[in-house]
Structure 1
Amino acid sequence: MRPNWECYTAVGVQILVVFRINMATYTSLSLSALSATVMLRRMVGMPRVSPFQIKLSAEERKVLERRTRRYTLPYFEVLRAKMILLAADGQSNNEIAAYLGIGRDVVSLWRKRFFQERLPGLEERPRPGRPPVFPPRGGRAGQSHRL
C-alpha cells in the first residue's frame, strides 16, 4: 500500500512552520531574558556608591525639612530638599531616584552640587540664552496692551 505523500507533506510543512515560529519566539524570548538578566545585574548586582557622602548640620537639616513641608514652594525646590535629606539618611542614588520617581542622574547632580556648595548649591542658577523679551505687564510707553 502506497502512503499518501500529499497528506504527509502537508503535515510536515505545517509542523515545520510551527517549529520555525516556535524557534523564532524561543530565540527572541531567550534574548530578551538575557538582556533583562544583564540589566538586573547592572542595577542590583553592582551597586553604585556615591563618592559624595552627605552629612548635615542641625541648621541645614532644619532648613531642608522646612522646605519639604512648604506647599507654596515650587515643586523642584521641595524635590531637591527631599533628595538631600534622603541622601543624608544614607540612601543610595538609585533608591532615592526610585522613591521620588526621577532619574538617578538627576539625584547624582544635586547630591554633588550640595556636597560642593551646601545650601546655596540648591538654588536656581541663571540659565543660558536670551532673557525674556517683554515684561509681564505694560510695554513700551505710549502703547496700549491691545493690538
Structure 2
Amino acid sequence: MAAGPSEVPPAFTPISASWLNLVERWFAELTQKKLHRSVQALERDVGAWLADWNKHPRPFIWTTRVDEIVDKVAAYWRRTSNSGH
C-alpha cells in the first residue's frame, strides 16, 4: 500500500514485540552509561536510574523511517538466505 504525500505509511509491529523493544532499549540506555562490578552495584544503579527517569520521563522516539528498516531487513535476508546454513 503506497502512502500519499500527507499520509503516514503503515507499519505493522506485533503487539508482543513493541513492549519488548522498549524494554531492550531501556536496558541498552542503562548499560551504555554504567559498568557494574557486582549485583549490588547493578541493583543500586538501576534503582537510582529509575528514580531519575521517573522524575524526568521522556518518550523514546523512532528516528528511522519504515522504508529504511525494510531495506535493511531485505539486504540482510539477501545476504543470509543463501548462506548454506
TM-score normalised to the size of structure 2?
A: 0.30
Instruction: Tell which structure's C-alpha radius of gyration is larger.
Output: 1
Query: Which structure has more RCO (C-alpha within 8 Å, separation ≥ 6)?
Result: 2
TM-score normalised to the size of structure 1?
A: 0.20
